[in-house]
Amino acid sequence: MSTKLQQGDYLFDKKEGFGIYKWTDGRMYEGWWVKGKQHGPGTYHDTAKNSVRKGLWENGKRLKWYEEEEAKQVAQGKVDYRKEFLEPESLILAQSERWRHA
């Protein structure tokens, strides 16, 4: 039996806020969710490739991978990742204080 694991909050039966999702093959996403989709800064772990990468997602699609220094600046709030979003609705969602220190 395959099992997926989600740690975090749900809103209307969809992942919402900060959470961790683990796939059965060992991959893991740790980061922000909106309406059940990866949305905002997050960390992707791929055990098969022995890699960990930080990036930015919008509505479930990865927009970019961060280099190490840029990831640190995003985490410290020195870089406003919200400017990278492509869809106007994403900016509205990002106005909440919870997004400022992802």
Domain total in the chain? 1
Question: How confident is the model over 82-94, as pLDDT tens digits?
Answer: 889 988 878 766 6
Least confident of 23-27, 71-75, 79-83, 96-100: 96-100
User: Is 62 within the bounds of a domain?
Assistant: yes
The enclosing domain of 22 has a CATH number of 2.20.110
What's the domain range around 33? 5-93
**Can you tell me the distance from the alpha carbon of 102 to that of 5, in angstroms, rounded to the nearest whole number?**
21
Question: How confident is the model over 22-33, as pLDDT tens digits?
Answer: 999 999 999 999
Cβ distance 20 to 29 under 8 Å? yes
Q: What is the mean pLDDT of the chain?
A: 84
User: Is the pTM higher than 0.85?
Assistant: no
Closest to 38 measured CA to CA, from 97, 100, 85:
85
**Mean pLDDT confidence for 37-52:** 94
User: Is 100 within the bounds of a domain?
Assistant: no
